Structure 1
Amino acid sequence: MLRIVKTKLGTVEGIPAADPRITAFKSIPFAKPPVGDLRFAPPQPAEPWEGVRECYKFPAIPVQPSPNRNPPPEDVYSREWSVDPDIPVSEDCLYLNIWTPAKNGNEKLPVYFWIFGGGWQVGHTAEMEFDGERIARRGIVVVTVNYRVNLFGFTCHPELTAEYPDKPANMGLQDQQAGLKWVYENIEAFGGDKENITIGGQSAGAGSVMFHIENEESRKYFKRAVVDSGLIYTPNMPDMFPKRSVKEAEQLGVEFFKFCGCNSLAEARNLTTDQLRQKWSEWGGYEKSIACWTPVFDEQFNKGSLIDVVKEGKCTPCPIFTGYTTDEFIFGGMHAVEMGVRKLMKEEENRGLNIQNYCYKFDVPIPGWDHPGKFHSVDLWFWFETLAKCWRPFKGVHYDVARQMCDYLCNFIKNGNPNGKDLCGEPLPEWTPFKTEKANFMEFTTYSALNEIPPSAEMKKYL
C-alpha cells in the first residue's frame, strides 16, 4: 500500500485505515499557520520541511466553542457529532487529510474534495461522519480540508484591506481554495487524478462549493460539484445570512476590535486566542456571530446567490449532484432547499444550458429516543457510509440504503453520472438527470426509487 508519499513540499507518512488497503494521511499542511501577523490574513503557501512528516492524527480544529460536555435534550447536533469536549482547538489549523486506496502514485484515481459545514461558525474535519475510508474503498482518493471559521475566517478591517487589497475578505473561503490548489498540485503523488476532482460540501460547506463554482480561479481545479442541503431559496423570507459589502464588513471589524479594546489591527493580533474567544462569547456568541462573520460580497468569492448569478449569465455551472432532507429549512410551508434546487435547474434551462444535474430527496426514517425526523445534516452518515460510528440504533435497512447512496455518490465522483453498478457489482436503479418538466428526484426512503415530485402550488409562483 502507499504509506509514504513525497509531496512538492516534503515527505509524509500515513497509517493504515481500519481497512488496511486504505492509507490515511492526516494533518498535511497546505498553508502557513495563520498566527501572529498572519491572523485574519489570506492563507500563505506552506513552507517545505525536512525528513518524513508523520501524518497520523487529525489536526487541531479551527477556533470555535468547545463541544458541550452535557448537551441538553434539544441540542441534537452536539449529541450527534460534537462529542469530544477535549478536542484540541487552535488557530494553527490549516491542514488537510487524505484517504487513498492507491498502491502507487501512477493510478490516476478520481478525487473527492470535501468541505464541512457549520454555518461558517463551527465544524471540522475530525467529525466522525467525515471518515473517508468507505468512499476510498470504491476507488476514490478522499480529501477533507480545514478552514478558518467565524471571526477568524471572515473578519474584514480597513487595515487588512490596505495590506491585502486584492484579497481583502473571505479568508475562510480563501483557505478552501488554497487547499484545493494544493490538492491539484500534489494529489497525483497519492494516486489521484488532478484532472478529475469533484468538490463537495454540505450546508455552509455546500454554500462554499457554490462560491467556488462562481470563482474563476477555483474552477481551474475541479470538474463537478456535490451540493448537499445548500441551495436555499426563500422569496418570502428574510435572508438567512447578511449581505455585506467589503466596506460594511470593514466597519463591523472596526466595531468588534473596539469592543475588544483594540484601536488597530496590530493590537487585535496581539490578543491571545483565548482572549478573542472570550470576546466572541461576550459579543453575542454563535447567534450574533452568524449575523456578523459569514461570506462577504467581495465580487471574487461571493458574487451573490448562485441562482442569481446563473440567471444573470455571469456563470455557467458545472454538473451538480444536489438535494435535500425532508425536514430541513421549512419556512411558511415551503421547503427552502427543495425550492432552491428547482429554481437553479429552471434558470439553467431558461438559459438553454444542457447540464447533467442529479437531484435527490432524503426521506429515510431516523431512529432514536429523540424522534428527530429527517433533520438537517443527518444524511451525512449515509453519504459517507459511516452509520456504525453513530449512537443511533440503525438497522440493516439503513445500512442498505447508505451503501446504495454512497455507491451513487461515488459513481458521480468518478464520471459525473451516478448510474452504474454498486459495490457488489449489481446494477443500481436508474437515476435520470433532473428536468423541470418531469421533476424527477431520486428518493431515498427504506429503498431507492426515482420519482416525479411536482412542486407545490405555492412554489410554482416563484419558479
Structure 2
Amino acid sequence: MLRIANTENGQVRGLPAADPRITSFKGIPFAAPPVGENRWRAPQPAESWQGVRECFEFAPISVQDTPGLGDDIYCREWHVDPEITMSEDCLYLNVWTNAKSADERKPVLVWFFGGAFQWGYTAEMEFDGERLARRDIVVVTVNYRLGAFGFLCHPQLTKEQPDAPCNFGCLDQQAGLRWVRRNIANFGGDPDNITIAGQSAGGGSVMAQMACMDNEGDFKSAVVMSGMFGSPYEVNDFFKPQSLEQAGEKGERLFEYLGVKTLEEARKLDANYIRSKYSGLRNSGEMFFTIVLDGRFCTQDPMAAFRNGSRIRVPVMGGNTGDEFMEYIHAADDNGLAKKAGEYFGSKAEQFLALPEAKDRTDLGYALVSSPELGVKAAFLGENRQDKPENCYYYRFISDIPGDDNAGTFHSVDLWFFFETLAKCTRPFEGRHYDLARQMCDYWANFIKTGDPNGFDLNGNRLPEWRPYSDNDRSEMLFTSDGAQASAEQNSLVRFLLDELK
C-alpha cells in the first residue's frame, strides 16, 4: 500500500485506515499558517520540511465557536467533542487513497464542508473518505478559515491588498484545490479528473468556485448538496454575496467593537478575543461575514452565474433533503392568501390560487415548498437553456430517519448516506438505510469517475437509471426508504414557481 507519498514540500507518511487497504494522510499543510502578518491575507506557500512528516491525525480546526456545547441537533449528531483542538493555524488537508503506487491515476474528490461559513471542519466523523476510497476514488477534504477570520472585509484591506481584499476562506479552498492539482498524482490520483463537492455552505463554496473563472480547467465536475436556493415568496439573501461596501461597513464596526483602529493593531489581537467578540455580534444579529463581491475572486452572484451560463460549465449533481429550508406564505386564512398571491404574482395570482397545492395549509403556512429544490432546479433549467448544455442531475433525499427526536430529513442528514458512514452515527439505522447509503455512495462514485452517476453498484447490479433534469424531461432521483427510485416532477406548484423564477 502507498503509505509514504511525496509532496512539493516534503514526504508524508499516512496510516492504514480501518480498512488496511486504504491509507489515510491527515493534516498535510497546503499553505503557510494564516497567523500574524498572514491573518486576513490570501494563503501563502507552505514551508518545506526535511525527512518524512507523520500525517496521522487531523490538524486543528478553524477558529469558531467551541463544538459540542449546545443541545441542538448538530451538537448531538456530529459536533460532539468540545475538547477538539482549535487554532488559527488551520490550513491543512486530508487524503484517503487505496492506491498501491503513485502512477495509478484514480479520479479525485475534493470536498468542502458546510456550516454557514461560520462553523465546521474536516474532522467531522461523517466526512470519513474510506468508503469512497474503496470505490477507487482518491478523497481530499480541505479545511478553510471561517467567520471573521475567513470572510472579514474592511476598507483598509481593500486599500492595502486590492488583489485579495477578502474571501480568504474561498481563497483557502482554491489554494487547496490547486495543491491537489500539483500533488495528487503522488497519491495515485488523476489531476485531470477532479470533482469538487460540498454541502450547505460547502455547496455554496462549490458554486463560488464554479463562478470564479480563474479556476477554469481545475475540475471536471461538481456536486452541490443543499447549496442552491430559490426564494419564491419573501426575498432571502442569505447565500447572495454581500457588496464590498456593505461588508466593509461591518468590518469597520467590528474594529470599533474590538477596540482597534488599524489593520496592524487588529492583526496583533488574540484570536480567541476576536472569536468571542465576533460571535457575540453575530449571534445578536449585528453582523455576519460571508462571501463578498470583491471584483477579484467573486465577480457576480454564483447562482446568477449558473443560471446565465457564465460559470465554469461542467456536469453537476445537486439536490436537497425533503424537510430542509421550507418556505411558505404567511396568511391567516384564504382571504389573506389571496392578498399575498396578488402581491407576489400580480396578474398570475388567479393561476397560482388554482393550483391544488396552493391552498394546502400546514402549521407553518400555505403553499409549502422547498427553497433548495427550487434553487437547484432553477439553476439546472438555466444551464439547459445554454448552447450544448451540460448534464445536471437532480436528487431529493426523503428516506425515513430513525431516532427519538423525530428529526425527519433534516438539513445535512444525507451526508451520513453519501459518505456511507452510518456506522459512526448513534441513530438506530437498519438494513434498508445501509442499502440506501450503499446505493447513494455508488451513484456518487460513478459521477466522480465519469460525470455521470449511472452505472453499476458494488455488487455489479445496474443502478436505476438517473436521467438529467431538463426543461423537456423533469427527471428526479428520489432516495427513499425503499432505495433509489427514478421519478418525474409531479408538483404543479414547483413548476409554476420555477416559471416565476426565470
TM-score in terms of structure 1 length: 0.96
Partner residue in 2 for 1:211: 208
The worse-fitting range, judged by mean Cα deviation, of 399-408 and 352-361 is: 352-361
Residues of 2 paired with 1:219 and 1:32: CA distance?
A: 24
**Structure 2 counterpart SS, 1:56:** coil
Residues of 2 paired with 1:316 and 1:348: CA distance?
A: 11
Deviations 1:100-132 (A, max 9, x none): 000000000000000000000000000000000
Residues of 2 paired with 1:194 and 1:87: CA distance?
A: 32
Partner residue in 2 for 1:105: 102
- Is the CA contact 2:108–2:137 (under 8 Å) kept in the aligned structure 1? yes
Residues of 1 paired with 2:470 and 2:222: CA distance?
A: 18
- Is the CA contact 2:216–2:312 (under 8 Å) kept in the aligned structure 1? no
* 1:17-416 pair list within 5 angstroms: 17-69=17-69, 71-72=70-71, 75-238=72-235, 239-241=237-239, 243-285=241-283, 288=285, 291-332=287-328, 333-416=368-451
Residues of 1 paired with 2:297 and 2:90: CA distance?
A: 21
- AA aligned opposite 2:301: S
Residues of 2 paired with 1:66 and 1:224: CA distance?
A: 34
The worse-fitting range, judged by mean Cα deviation, of 48-57 and 449-458 is: 449-458
- AA aligned opposite 1:371: N
**Structure 1 counterpart SS, 2:293:** coil
Deviations 1:338-389 (A, max 9, x none): 1112111221222334211111110010000000010110000000000000
Partner residue in 1 for 2:16: 16
- Structure 1, unmatched stretches of 5+, are none
**Structure 2 counterpart SS, 1:28:** strand
**Alpha carbons of 1:359 and 1:282: their partners in 2 closer, same or farther (altered >3 Å)?**
closer
Deviations 1:305-348 (A, max 9, x none): 33422444433521101111000111112211111121112212
- AA aligned opposite 2:433: H
Residues of 2 paired with 1:6 and 1:209: CA distance?
A: 27
- 1:248 Cα deviation after fit: 2.7
**Structure 2 counterpart SS, 1:217:** helix
- 1:244 Cα deviation after fit: 2.4
- Is the CA contact 2:307–2:380 (under 8 Å) kept in the aligned structure 1? no
- AA aligned opposite 1:178: A
**Structure 2 counterpart SS, 1:253:** helix
- Is the CA contact 2:226–2:318 (under 8 Å) kept in the aligned structure 1? yes
- Is the CA contact 1:13–1:54 (under 8 Å) kept in the aligned structure 2? yes
- 1:243 Cα deviation after fit: 4.4
Residues of 1 paired with 2:240 and 2:472: CA distance?
A: 34
Deviations 1:175-202 (A, max 9, x none): 0000000000000000000000000000
**Structure 2 counterpart SS, 1:153:** helix
Deviations 1:246-297 (A, max 9, x none): 2332222121011110011111111111211221233243x637x5200001
**Alpha carbons of 1:212 and 1:158: their partners in 2 closer, same or farther (altered >3 Å)?**
same
The worse-fitting range, judged by mean Cα deviation, of 451-460 and 142-151 is: 451-460
- 1:241 Cα deviation after fit: 4.3
Partner residue in 2 for 1:444: 479
- Report the identity percentage: 50
- Is the CA contact 1:121–1:149 (under 8 Å) kept in the aligned structure 2? yes
- Is the CA contact 1:327–1:373 (under 8 Å) kept in the aligned structure 2? yes
Structure 1 segments, 4+ long, off by >4 Å, are: none
- AA aligned opposite 2:488: E
- Is the CA contact 1:342–1:436 (under 8 Å) kept in the aligned structure 2? no
- Is the CA contact 1:2–1:23 (under 8 Å) kept in the aligned structure 2? yes
- AA aligned opposite 2:454: N
**Structure 2 counterpart SS, 1:189:** helix
- AA aligned opposite 1:148: R
- AA aligned opposite 1:438: D
The worse-fitting range, judged by mean Cα deviation, of 8-17 and 308-317 is: 308-317
Residues of 2 paired with 1:146 and 1:190: CA distance?
A: 19
**Structure 2 counterpart SS, 1:26:** strand
Aligned length: 458
**Structure 1 counterpart SS, 2:217:** helix
- Is the CA contact 2:307–2:381 (under 8 Å) kept in the aligned structure 1? no
- AA aligned opposite 2:484: S
Residues of 2 paired with 1:177 and 1:62: CA distance?
A: 16
- AA aligned opposite 1:46: A
- Is the CA contact 2:242–2:290 (under 8 Å) kept in the aligned structure 1? no
- 1:30 Cα deviation after fit: 0.4
Please tell me the root mean square deviation across aligned C-alpha atoms, in Å. Answer: 1.5
**Structure 2 counterpart SS, 1:210:** helix
Partner residue in 1 for 2:344: none
Residues of 1 paired with 2:65 and 2:312: CA distance?
A: 38
**Structure 1 counterpart SS, 2:95:** strand
Partner residue in 2 for 1:3: 3
**Alpha carbons of 1:460 and 1:143: their partners in 2 closer, same or farther (altered >3 Å)?**
closer
**Structure 2 counterpart SS, 1:96:** strand
- AA aligned opposite 1:459: L
- 1:42 Cα deviation after fit: 1.0
